Structure 1
C-alpha cells in the first residue's frame, strides 16, 4: 500500500503519525505543494492521501496558485471514495474542496487544549482524544461541509469532521507532541504568529514538555483506529 503525503511547508511533517502508517504497511511517499511537478501528481492512485498543514489561507489563491489545482484533485478523490486524511490546512482544503467556507476566525488558537467531542465523535476514532490536551496552531477555520459529520469542536472552531469511514479532517494537530516532532522549528518559523495569538514560545515549550507525550500517544491511537476502519 502507498500513502502520498502532501507537505505545504517544509517544517510541518508527519511527526507521530509516521509510525502508525508504517506499522499498517504503508510505503510513504512525500510531495511538496508548489513544486515544479506538483501539478502533475496523481491524487487518485495512492491508497491513502495525507494533507498536512501550512500557514497559508485558502483565500490567498493569487499568492499560492497551486491551491486551485489541489482543491480540484482532492474533490475528485473524495468523490470516488479515496481514503483521505487532512490536518489543519489539509482539513481546510478538504472542506473547501467540498464547497464549505474557510475563513479567519475571531481568535487564534495556538497552544495545547482539549477538544469537545460530539456524540458521533465519541463513537469514532477521535474517542482517543477525549480529555487530552492537543496542540492547536491556527487562526482560520472551516465550516462543516454538507453531508459531513462533525466529530469535535472548541468554543471558537469546528475541530474535526468525517465523511463516512474514508475521510477525516482535523483542524487540530494530534500528530504533534513527541520529542522529535520539530516544535522548535514551528516556533522559529511562526514566532510573530505565536505572539499575536497571545501566548509565547516559552509557554508552548513548557506545555509540550508536560503534555506532548500523552498528546502524541493519543493521536497515534486515533490514527491506528481510523486506519483499521478504512473501507
Structure 2
C-alpha cells in the first residue's frame, strides 16, 4: 500500500538526505513542497500519511521576513492537534515547538560540526537511542523551549533540547542525522563565510566526516526505520 509523505523544504541543499530512501523503503510516495514558492495554506493538515519539515537557514521567529513560516506553524498546529504523524528536523523541530506556543530564540552558542547527543531515560527507550553517543551533524545557533506536550529524548553539551516526541506520532530532532556525505560537502563548501566567522576549519570538518559519517548514517537508518515502523496505523 502506497502512503504519502509531504516534505516541507526550505532550501534545495537542505533536503531529505538519507531519510529519503528509508521513506521509500517503507512505501511512502514523496511530495516535495518548496515552502518559499508554494502555498502551504492550501495543504490539508491531516490528509498526508506523514509530514516532514526540514531545516533551513532562517530562524523560526523570522516570520516578518519569511511569512510562510507562520503558515507552516498553522499546518503543524492543526496536524499535531489531530495526532497525525509528523517529523521535524532542525528548523522543523523549532517550528513544531513554535506551533505549540513555545519560544524559539537565538542560543548562546553556535554548534557546527559533529557533536555527541546523549539520550534521556525516555530516549533510551525510543528510536533516538540509536544516536546515543554517536557524533551527529549539528549546524544551528537557535533553540527552543520544550512543549509541555512533549517528552525530551536527547540533549547535548550546549543545548538541552536536542530531540523530543509527542505521543507515538510526532518526533523532532534539533541535529541533522539526514546529512549524507554529499550534502555535508555542499554545506561546508557553501558555508565558508560562516565557518570563518566561527573560526572553524573546513578541512577539519571534512576529516571529521571521514571518521564519523558512516556511524551516523547507520544510526539514522535504524532510528527512522524503527520510528516509521512504530507509527500508529
- TM class by smaller structure: over 0.9
Partner of 1:52: 54
Separation in 2, partners of 1:197, 1:28:
36
Partner of 1:108: 110
Partner of 2:100: 98
Q: How far apart are residue 130 of structure 1 and its match?
A: 1.5
Structure 2 unaligned blocks of 5 or more? none
Partner of 1:162: 165
Secondary structure at 1:64 match in 2: coil
Separation in 2, partners of 1:142, 1:200:
28
**Is contact 1:107–1:197 with CA below 8 Å preserved after alignment?**
no
Detail structure 1 runs of 4+ shifted over 4 Å in the superposition.
none
Q: How far apart are residue 198 of structure 1 and its match?
A: 3.5
Separation in 2, partners of 1:137, 1:194:
11
TM score, norm. by length of structure 2: 0.94
Q: How far apart are residue 207 of structure 1 and its match?
A: 0.9
Separation in 1, partners of 2:209, 2:151:
30
Structure 1 unaligned blocks of 5 or more? none
Partner of 1:203: 204
Q: How far apart are residue 43 of structure 1 and its match?
A: 2.9
Deviates more, 1:197-206 or 1:160-169: 197-206
Q: How far apart are residue 47 of structure 1 and its match?
A: 0.2
Call closer, same or farther: CA 1:200–1:76 in 2, change over 3 Å. Answer: same
Separation in 1, partners of 2:193, 2:212:
23
Q: How far apart are residue 111 of structure 1 and its match?
A: 0.3
TM score, norm. by length of structure 1: 0.95
Partner of 1:146: 148
RMSD: 1.2
Separation in 2, partners of 1:40, 1:29:
14
Partner of 2:223: 222
